[in-house]
Copies of this chain bind each other. A is one copy, B any other.
Amino acid sequence: MTQKQDKTRVTVEIRNRSYTIVGDEDASHVRLVASLVDQKMREIHEMNPQLDTASLAVLTAINSMNDYLALKEDYASLLGSIKKERG
Contacts and interface: CB of A to CB of B under 8 A. Distances in A.
Interface residues of A, number: 40
B65 A19 contact: no
Copies of this chain per assembly: 2
Interface string A40-61: 1100000110001111011111
28 contacts: A1-B47, A17-B54, A19-B55, A19-B59, A19-B62, A21-B59, A25-B66, A32-B69, A33-B66, A36-B65, A40-B61, A40-B65, A52-B54, A53-B58, A54-B54, A57-B58, A57-B60, A58-B60, A61-B63, A64-B65, A64-B67, A71-B72, A71-B75, A75-B75, A75-B78, A78-B78, A78-B79, A82-B82
